[in-house]
Amino acid sequence: MNFAAILAGGRGTRMGNQDKPKQYLLLDKKPIIAHTVEKFLVMPEFEKVIVLCPDAWVEPTKDILRTYVGESDRLVVIAGGERRNDTIMNAIAYIEDAFGIDDDAVLVTHDSVRPFITYRIIKDNLDAMASHDACDTVIPATDTIVESVDGTVIDAVPERSRMFQGQTPQTFKIGTLKSLYASLSNEERAILTDACKIFVLRDRKVALVSGAASNIKITYPTDLKIAQALLGIED
């Protein structure tokens, strides 16, 4: 069985002085999160699309999705966790309780503020699970990447041809992710902000799936303007 987890735990602090998290801002007269959820809900490959948001936003999110996406027994909204990986574990706990987890159970995790995700990218993530336990959506780095330990001087300039920019979805065999997460120390859990890194830390291979330059994450006010431009909306 395949499940999708739409991660909507962001507070939107980098979006400026907003009275609501960024995933609820309007894009073409519809909240960003509604655009994103629709992309997954139209795919029959998913048994359930799970939206995870701050506890205080669970009921408002249900209302928003009911208004802009419609009713669906394949859609559920639950509370996320304190950190990103805690939120993913909440999704897994829901799946385990409602459906059980077998060896083939797959979880596709995606940022709620990446509304331009495509069917091709999602399908490629699912297809990668036939031969891997995890995959990450990436695009080649187009700018030179520099590494700095203290943020004041350059310590290394990695070869750009080997660098990629991470996007989402990130997709996992649920049983493997749960097992690897349980093996982490509290210190490791505190510093890990990316679920794929759990696999890397435990020497597990993570497949690369080609993303798209248009699969942007709406984080800053300029990103919202770019998103409007992609939709042909004049400011």
Query: For residue range 171-200, what is the model confidence (pLDDT) as tens digits?
Result: 999 999 999 999 999 888 888 889 999 999
Q: Is residue 27 part of a domain?
A: yes
What pLDDT digit, counting tens, does each position of 217-226 carry?
999 999 999 9
pTM of the model: 0.93
Give the residue numbers spanning the domain of 55. 2-230
CATH code for the domain of 21: 3.90.550.10
Q: What tokens were used for 214?
A: 């248009």
Q: Is residue 135 part of a domain?
A: yes
Q: Is residue 116 part of a domain?
A: yes
The distance from CA 118 to its chain's CA centroid, rounded to whole angstroms, is 13
- φ, ψ dihedrals at 53, nearest 5°: -140, 170
Q: What's the start-to-end Cα distance of the chain, in Å?
A: 42
- Domain count for the chain: 1
Q: Is residue 178 part of a domain?
A: yes
Q: What torsion, rounded to 10 degrees, do the Cα atoms 121, 40, 90, 198 define?
A: 0
Q: Is residue 235 part of a domain?
A: no
